[in-house]
Structure 1
Amino acid sequence: MKNSTHHNIRPVEPADLDELLIMMQEHADFERAAFNPGGKKDKLKAALFNEPQRLHCWVVAIDEKLVGFVSYTFDYSTWDAAEFMYMDCLFLRERTRGKGIGSEIIKRLTTVAAERNCINIQWQTPAFNTPAINFYIKNKALAADKVRFTLKIG
């Protein structure tokens, strides 16, 4: 999975989890969101590597150093009566942005979603993240104006 930019997009491995958690913190900081890594390594390990697999994740490496990740799940749309892919996170460290890696990830996700007969891929980004919004529009995504709510349990 290498190309001329000398990056490698590959499935996450258990040995990547510590660096993945660091990138998750960087992603949360970028999105001005709270993040507590406590206890998440074991939960992520179970979701990623146990059967049934609940979470899918690829990491991006340049010279064996992780510089980004994407995670996704599959869900079911009531309105479409069909399965869809939900891209939960797409994060590239700043120095790797603008090099076509994100577009390559979107293309690969599209292939996986099509192979699984998904109706679409859905995701969200904060309204203030203009660079991400422009990137998604450039990659032919359509925005849907909605307000996302979170109801804490427990």
Structure 2
Amino acid sequence: MSNYLIREIQENDLDELMLLIEEHTAYEQAVYNGVGKKERLQKELFRENSQLKCWVIEIDNKVNGFCSFTYDYSTWDAAFFIYMDCLYIRSSFRGIGIGSVILARLKVLAAEKQYVNVQWQTPDFNAPAIAFYKKNGALSKDKVRFTLSVDSKE
């Protein structure tokens, strides 16, 4: 197994993060638009008291994955929760347990903060991810996700 380290993102990781986000977008069959993204992420990731957090997965001294998440509030549960926005590991490093370690760390973080749970979503066609999440004890809820754009060009 490769040596790996899960750590908080640093500013010098941003170029690799941009590549990983583009790869993740393609993997999920979505459209990628990188215009201004690096600058906006840099501003938010490194802003004091930001709700956006990001861990990078350094494998053999190279960033090969990431997990981003936010702290959010559920009116249904009347409690805070962690929302995992992205978990992406390059395909050559999947299946060696890193994703399970990330999920476990998120669960511990939520428990330490006395949050109610960790939530996320994945496309319904992503059978390997769905199987992985279920193997790690996650329960699914069928929903349809909507996006209402504020940009008239979309």
Q: TM-score under structure 2 normalisation?
A: 0.95
Whether 1:57 aligns to 2:67 is no
Match of 1:41 in 2: 38
Task: Extract unaligned runs of 5+ from structure 2.
Answer: none
Contact 2:72/2:82 (<8 A) preserved: yes
Match of 1:141 in 2: 138
> How far apart, in 1, do the equivalents of 2:87 and 2:74 lie?
21
Deviates more, 1:4-13 or 1:24-33: 4-13
In structure 2, the residue corresponding to 1:57 is in which secondary structure? Answer: strand
Give the alignment's Cα RMSD to 1 decimal.
0.9
> How far apart, in 2, do the equivalents of 1:12 and 1:76 lie?
24
Whether 1:131 aligns to 2:128 is yes
Q: TM-score under structure 1 normalisation?
A: 0.95
2:21 pairs, out of 24, 44, 54, with 24
Letter in 1 for 2:44: A
> How far apart, in 1, do the equivalents of 2:77 and 2:21 lie?
31
Task: Extract unaligned runs of 5+ from structure 1.
Answer: none
CA displacement at 1:51 relative to structure 2 = 1.6
Match of 1:94 in 2: 91
> How far apart, in 2, do the equivalents of 1:32 and 1:77 lie?
29
Q: How many residues align?
A: 151
> How far apart, in 2, do the equivalents of 1:107 and 1:5 lie?
19
Deviates more, 1:13-22 or 1:47-56: 47-56
Whether 1:120 aligns to 2:117 is yes
Match of 1:152 in 2: 149
Letter in 2 for 1:113: A
In structure 2, the residue corresponding to 1:83 is in which secondary structure? Answer: strand
> How far apart, in 1, do the equivalents of 2:76 and 2:51 lie?
23
> How far apart, in 2, do the equivalents of 1:142 and 1:5 lie?
30
Letter in 2 for 1:86: Y
Letter in 1 for 2:120: W
Match of 1:13 in 2: 10
Question: Which stretches of structure 1, 4 residues or more, deviate above 4 A after TM superposition?
Answer: none
